[in-house]
Structure 1
Amino acid sequence: MGLIKDSNADTAGINRLGMFRAYYLGAVVCISGFLFGYDSGIIGGVLTLKPFERDYRYTAKQATHVSSLAVSLQNLGAFVACLIILPITHRYGRKWAIATCALIFCVGAAIETGNTHSKGAFYVGRVIAGLGLGGTTVVVPMFSAEMSPKQVRGQIGSFYQLMYTLGIFTSYWVNWGVARDISSSKTSQWQVPVSLQILWAGLLGLGMFTLKESTRWLTAVGRHEEAWESLKWVRADDGPATQVEMEEIRRGVEMEAHAGEGFRLSEMVQGSNLRRTVTASSVFIAQQATGATAFAYYAPQYFKLLVGNKGNSDLLLTAIFGAIKFAACLIFVIFVADNVGRRNILTAGALFMSACQISAGAVLATHPAPGNSEVTQSGIATIALIYMFVIAYNFSWGPLPWPYVSEIFPTRTREAGIAVGVASQWLFNFVFSLTTPYMIANMGWGTFLLWGLFDLCIAGFAWFALAETQGRSIEEITNLDSNTAGKPMLHEEDSDAVNGGLPEVKG
């Protein structure tokens, strides 16, 4: 692999062992993305299984209400976690915060797995699991951005979405498998897919013991020797280039601490921080407004809308959907993540998704699903459009919001900024997951039209409101304007205020 040169820096590149460790770190922490995806994909299918309906004593007429609560309450728990995780990660670090969240998720998943015959108990388990899941979605992008080399930061940051799609892929095929191979009268038909969540969360928690703590966090709390050991480990190097990087991190942290000691949350809505905060929230709201996450939760219900009821065809089409989703994200991470500007691909992706959703709605409006008969040509067309939609999503709004939001904040406000952004993601995840079952039941093809119009608005937002961050260090991005591509985030006359009066540090 050799050395990877960075045109934006004078330092040497990344050696093979350093590259391996960076990828390994990204893979371990992004097991949380797999967990997120697996949970997102598993719940929609589980709610359609007859043993689950029998064990939790609800009728087909109540299914929309149960589905809405079972999915959205976990998202509500995740939203709450985003608001309380900051003091934990600030005091105890990124590594232990992630491990603790994994443990909390295991407790919630265990409650879900037990056949309590109580919808209330199942809902409580969902909320507890949501607390663990939501906490990781704040800390993992933060940890990944702080430890990844800038040359591959976008690629490693995109691991989260890649693992998310792998989790969805796995969950869809597990659902399809248990629906075919486990008796429809057995409780294990739904317990098997639900209990596997404990395995994935356990792997995440144990994996954190193999990693070093964040170099930037250790520097910020004054543990400089440990910070140096952490950077040496993840770069697999203690040469001049790593020493220069360590010095840049120290100076950056010192400048940000000098700029205003005693951080207050109100700072997030003051000066240039307000622009970054609004951008972070807007990016994650836009991600949810594409309709892709809602489709991941309720894919079987969506495919029933497209092709009608025919055996387990909805679960099979959902499983194929998951495979395409994962393959698209894998291609993006390997070949595209750090080779194409963030702003351009986010704009193009939203436009393409809009075209697919509006077209699918138009076809379904003029050629409704024929019930239990064979899939028609119009049904095949709508399925193809949805598959193209998910490819576009996983080349744009699926993977990129996570690294993008973690890139736009300086160290001083990164914790709070990511928390606010991800909290917005979970809040609107809750809103859309709560309302989508009712949208499918009452709007039919209009659901696709609504998502398509949202995507059109998102394209305009990406083009006119987002700055380009590709290929820049976190320190460089601090000086970018978040509402125009490539212009200074802070005017030159403001730079002394940001640096706290310290001289500018040259990279």
Structure 2
Amino acid sequence: MGLPGTRLGAFRAYFFGFFICTAGFLFGYDTGIVGGILEFKSYVNDFGYKDQTTVSAVMVSLQNVGAFLSALSIFWVSDRFGRKKTVQAAMSVFCIGVIIQVVPSHSLVCFYIGRFVAGLGLGAGTAVVPAYNAEMAPKEIRGKLGSGMQWLFALGVMLSYWIDYAVKITLPVSSKQWQIPVGLQMVPAGVLALGLFAMPESTRWLAKKGRYDEAYESLKWIRASDGPEVKAEFNEIRVGLSEELRATEGFKKRELLEPANRYRLLLAFFMFCGQQCTGMTALAYFGPQFFKLIVGNDTNQSLLITGLFGAEKFTTVGIYILFFSEMWGRKPTLWISALLMACCFVIVTVVKETTPPPNSKATPAGIGMVAMIFLTNSIYQFSWGPLPWPYTAEIFPTRIREVGTSVAVSTQWLFNFLFSLVTRYMMSAWGSYIFIFYAALDVIMAIIVFFFVKETKGKSLEEMETLFNSKAAFDVDAARREALRDVDEVSVHNKAVDYP
């Protein structure tokens, strides 16, 4: 598996990392169902509205507002109560929001309130999980496990598309047609909340709170070992925290404005802003509506293409995570992919504007444009889709990781909100020229990455202090050598090492 230590430790690392990324699955599933149920006559009949553009914009943006607010403010809860309890509470709030949505109120206001409440839980969960994951993952596969947020997101999107398609063609026009896709969200949320009872709290959070006995037990569990390498890793964590405390003498707000931390906050903001600027999240939300621009006004056909789009999303991001995430550097992957996506969007616009408009039948130009959108999606799933999740969690020191990931993920929700609010109006006003808009943003992102993003592949969380020239930087290799030397000396004298 490419990991030092026991096979059980490798299994636990992978299982834990992908299990808590269930929060990403929820994000993806919720993202995907919106565009589909808006096409259902049953939903329109139950809520009695005529302006679909406004309803879809409000439906998506209200949840994003709730997610943005909770993601931005959840760091103090996570810092006080721990990652585990915070995620469990977030999933409980999310389920309450889903229940409010599926009750037969026939009131858009009630549905909107449910969306907002669910957004509070979803935003909190997606803000805490990346930090929780990074703090438990071995550095050798931290990028792979952190990218699991995007893989599970893609799985959620794919399943939501096919569930929308299935209920559309198999169920009669009734409330169940839209209630089933919406209500199913409670299943993964409940599984995550209950499953965490069997999981340990974050090693680094426990160490940060001075609970070293529990921290070491947590690290032993996730590594399934108490050998020399685990002891060395734990010593590295303790020395890193000590150096942070020595350099800062207690957390102060102005600590966030120190050059190293200010740089990291700006990078975190940019990474998730850039993820939304690719245009691919807008495609995930409004897939059926986007594909109507290309293949014509056929709801079943656009839903089918959207389902295939979701399947491709899940497959390609899975290939990236399993085979390439720890092979390619973060930085070149990001800037090269941004330029490639820009080229694809330009080609789509040129073909669209130079060929006859589509009808209910497929045309060579329409097929070509769909293929190009699928190619763009594949590029995104190999880069801007998965990479911001591990990158923004790994660059921050333990003491401000809650704040850093909150800023990062709240940025994701903020721009998710902005693009979800304006995308339908942009589509109505610009048509296929909306792709040129996203192409221009991709070029800007590539330039910023090339000049300002730092490479983090293969470095431990404690080594980030040296990479960003922090005042808390220390010799990580020396700390590990010291721990290993202590273990060797104890072994020679046949003494038991009692950590911590």
Contact 2:204-2:237 within 8 A present in 1 as well: yes
Q: After superposition, what is the alpha-carbon deviation per residue over 1:211-257, rounded to whole angstroms, capped at 9, x for unaligned?
A: 10000000000111110110000000001110111111111112112
Q: Which residue of 1 aligns with 2:472?
A: 498
Aligned residue number for residue 455 of structure 1: 442
Q: Given the superposition, is the C-alpha separation of residues 199 and 502 from structure 1 closer, same or farther in structure 2, using an over 3 Å criterion?
A: closer
Query: Does the CA-based 8 Å contact 2:13-2:222 persist in structure 1?
Result: yes
Aligned counterparts of 2:321 and 2:253: Cα–Cα separation in 1: 34
Match of 1:320 among 308, 313, 334: 308
Q: 1:151 to 1:196 in 2, by over 3 A?
A: same
Structure 1 residue matching 2:462: 3-state secondary structure:
helix
Q: Where does the alignment leave 5 or more consecutive residues of structure 2 unmatched?
A: 482-500
2:196 alignment partner in structure 1: 208
Question: For 1:155 and 1:502, how far apart are their aligned partners in 2?
Answer: 23
CA separation in 2, counterparts of 1:455 and 1:476? 30
Choose which of 201, 216, 219 in structure 2 pairs with 1:228.
216
CA shift in 2, pair 1:502/1:287, >3 Å: closer
Indicate the residue corresponding to 1:170 in structure 2: 159
1:345 is aligned to 333
Taking structure 1 as the reference length, the TM-score comes to 0.92
Q: Shift of residue 505 of structure 1?
A: 4.2
Q: Which residue is 2:363 aligned to?
A: 376
- The TM-score, its normalising length taken from structure 2, stands at 0.94
Q: Does 1:396 align with 2:388?
A: no
| Conserved 8 A contact 1:410-1:475 | yes
1:300 paired with 2:315, answer no
Instruction: Report the Cα distance in structure 2 between the residues aligned to 1:72 and 1:121, rounded to whole angstroms.
Output: 15
Q: Pick the aligned partner of 2:454 from 467, 470, 477.
A: 467
1:416 to 394, 398, 403: 403
Q: Which range is displaced more, 374-383 or 254-263?
A: 254-263
Question: How many residue pairs get matched?
Answer: 481
Quote the residue 2:5 is aligned against: 14
Match of 1:333 in 2: 321
Contact (CA 8 Å) 1:256, 1:500: kept in 2 or not?
A: no
Name the CA distance, whole Å, in 2 between partners of 1:320 and 1:268.
Answer: 44
Query: Deviation digits for residues 134-153 of structure 1, max 9, x if unmatched?
Result: 01111100001000000111
Measure the CA separation in 2 of the matches of 1:140 and 1:71.
22
Greater than 6 Å deviation, 4+ residue runs: 500-504
Q: Which residue of 2 aligns with 1:9?
A: none
State yes or no: 1:151 paired with 2:140. yes
Which residue number corresponds to residue 424 of structure 2?
437
> Which residue in the other structure is 2:271 paired with?
283
1:398-418 Cα offsets, whole Å, 9 max, x none, are 000000111111112211111
Relative to 1, partners in 2 of residues 1:228 and 1:503: Cα closer, same or farther, differing over 3 Å? Answer: closer
Match of 1:8 in 2: none
CA distance in 2, matches of 1:375, 1:357: 20
1:479 paired residue among 466, 478, 483? 466
Aligned equivalents of 1:126 and 1:200: distance in 2?
Answer: 17
Provide the identity percentage.
45
Contact 2:236 2:476 in 1 (8 A): no
Aligned 1:50-199 pairs, distance under 5 A: 50-59=41-50, 62-183=51-172, 185-199=173-187
Name the amino acid aligned to 1:103.
Answer: S
**Hey, what's the Cα distance between the residues in 1 that align with 2:477 and 2:341?**
46
Give the aligned residue type for 2:95.
C
**Per the alignment, in what secondary structure is the counterpart of residue 185 of structure 2?**
helix
Q: Which runs of 5+ in 1 are unaligned?
A: 5-12, 481-488
2:327 maps to a residue whose letter is N
Could you say what the CA RMSD is over the residues aligned between the two structures, in angstroms? 1.7
SS of aligned partner of 2:189: helix
Name the stretch that deviates more: 352-361 or 162-171.
352-361
Letter in 2 for 1:74: Q
Alignment check: 8 A CA contact 2:340 2:379 kept: yes
